Amino acid sequence: MDRILSKIEGNIKTKGFKKLLIDFYSYLKVMNRSNLTVRWYMDDSIAFLKWVEKNGKRDIERVGKNDLRDFLAFHLTRGLKRRSAARKVSAIKAFFRYLVKAEVIQKSEIVTMENPKLEKRLPEIVSVKEMQEIFSRAFGNSRNDVRDSSILAFLYSTGARISEVAGVNWEDIDFRNGLVRLYGKGKKERVVPIGEFAITMLRRLYDLSVEQTGPVFVNAKGERLSIRQVRNIVYKSVKKAAVSSRISPHTLRHSFATHLIEKGADIRMVQEMLGHAKLSTTQIYTHVARGRLKEVYNRYHPHA
């Protein structure tokens, strides 16, 4: 039997709750949600209804936000992280939205309940010195080496998302003016500058490429690299350079933004280059830059 169905059968006693969970599971599959999303929604919804049952409720219409608050409080006192609590709320809200949509219930106060506020985590970044070490140690002159160094240079020079790097075509790059057209979330287009170092690397890659149209970053067969392949190239290159930090493509995006703000770049310009819809998303980098400023002050100032 399917793992999710077995879990419903093994954890839920109320017939009505079982049917609702099985129907929700079928709905998620019909909607073609990813396996990870389905597992997450179902596991959290099953856990919540199991909790509701234990507390004496058998009627779904009587389940409200106080039940969900008590459920979260129980888990938070046992060490559940706020980020995980927010994930549980999202999953359970999705279940109750489905119940309203399927007209099982008329409305639910759970649907409009706010998610728990998350603790803000500052993004990890790479120092300028570490970036210099990576580029000085990691690469040779083969086509793959030039491709790999171009990927790192492109990520750090433009602040692009990994999906944008994987999707870039030669036609998107304006070598003369040092610009690139990127297609972000929702196919939203933006044009950002590329630094001189990255342009130089890309010119070398262009000269070595069999096809000088279509995808920029390709494998040995000339096929576009997948997001996973680009990520693996970044990890491999960092390992090759023997840099102690664990650096991901997103670390390079964070570093791009932080280094610009440290050097006095206007935050709205950084927002535009990153393709952020809201300025508040970009403002996290001012906190990182401020934190690094204090760190440098404390380390070097004699009165710190």
The pLDDT score that the predictor gives to residue 119 is: 57
Based on the fold, state whether residues 72 and 145 are members of the same structural domain.
no
The pLDDT score that the predictor gives to residue 244 is: 64
State the CATH number of the domain containing residue 167. 1.10.443.10
Secondary structure (H, E, C), the chain = CCHHHHHHHHHCCCHHHHHHHHHHHHHHHHCCCCHHHHHHHHHHHHHHHHHHHHCCCCCHHHCCHHHHHHHHHHHHCCCCCHHHHHHHHHHHHHHHHHHHHCCCCCCCCCCCCCCCCCCCCCCCCCCHHHHHHHHHHCCCCCHHHHHHHHHHHHHHHHCCCHHHHHHCEHHHEECCCCEEEEECHHHCEEEEECCHHHHHHHHHHHHHCCCCCCECCECCCCCECCHHHHHHHHHHHHHHCCCCCCCCHHHHHHHHHHHHHHCCCCHHHHHHHHCCCCHHHHCHHHHHHHHHHHHHHHHHCCCC
With a cut of 80, say whether residue 283 has pLDDT above it. no
With a cut of 60, say whether residue 289 has pLDDT above it. no
Which amino acid would we find at residue 43? D
Model confidence over 48-80: pLDDT tens digits? 999 999 998 999 999 999 999 999 988 888 888
Model confidence over 32-47: pLDDT tens digits? 888 889 999 999 999 9
Is 185 tagged catalytic? yes
Find the catalytic residue in 7, 231, 253, 259.
253
Q: What rounded mean pLDDT belongs to the chain?
A: 86
With a cut of 60, say whether residue 178 has pLDDT above it. yes
Based on the fold, state whether residues 253 and 144 are members of the same structural domain.
yes
Based on the fold, state whether residues 208 and 166 are members of the same structural domain.
yes
Nearest to 108 by CA among 145, 60, 149: 60
The pLDDT score that the predictor gives to residue 8 is: 95
Find the catalytic residue in 88, 147, 161, 254.
161
Confidence at 297, pLDDT banded by 50, 70, 90: very low
Structure tokens at 122: 């500052």
Find the catalytic residue in 185, 239, 268, 294.
185
CA angle 242, 247, 249 (to 5 degrees): 135
Alpha-carbon span 139 to 271, nearest angstrom: 31
Based on the fold, state whether residues 235 and 182 are members of the same structural domain.
yes
Is 276 tagged catalytic? yes
Confidence at 133, pLDDT banded by 50, 70, 90: confident
Q: In total, how many domains does the chain have? A: 2
Is 254 tagged catalytic? no
The pLDDT score that the predictor gives to residue 296 is: 47
With a cut of 90, say whether residue 302 has pLDDT above it. no
Q: Is residue 118 part of a domain?
A: no
Based on the fold, state whether residues 181 and 284 are members of the same structural domain.
yes
Based on the fold, state whether residues 45 and 161 are members of the same structural domain.
no
Q: Is residue 284 part of a domain?
A: yes
Q: Is residue 92 part of a domain?
A: yes
Find the catalytic residue in 181, 250, 287, 292.
250
Model confidence over 146-157: pLDDT tens digits? 999 999 999 999
Q: Is residue 123 part of a domain?
A: no
The pLDDT score that the predictor gives to residue 14 is: 94
- Domain carrying residue 50: 3-101
Contact 162, 249 (CB under 8 A): yes
Is 75 tagged catalytic? no
Q: Is residue 240 part of a domain?
A: yes
Model confidence over 223-273: pLDDT tens digits? 999 999 999 999 888 887 776 667 888 888 888 888 888 888 888 888 888
Based on the fold, state whether residues 220 and 293 are members of the same structural domain.
yes
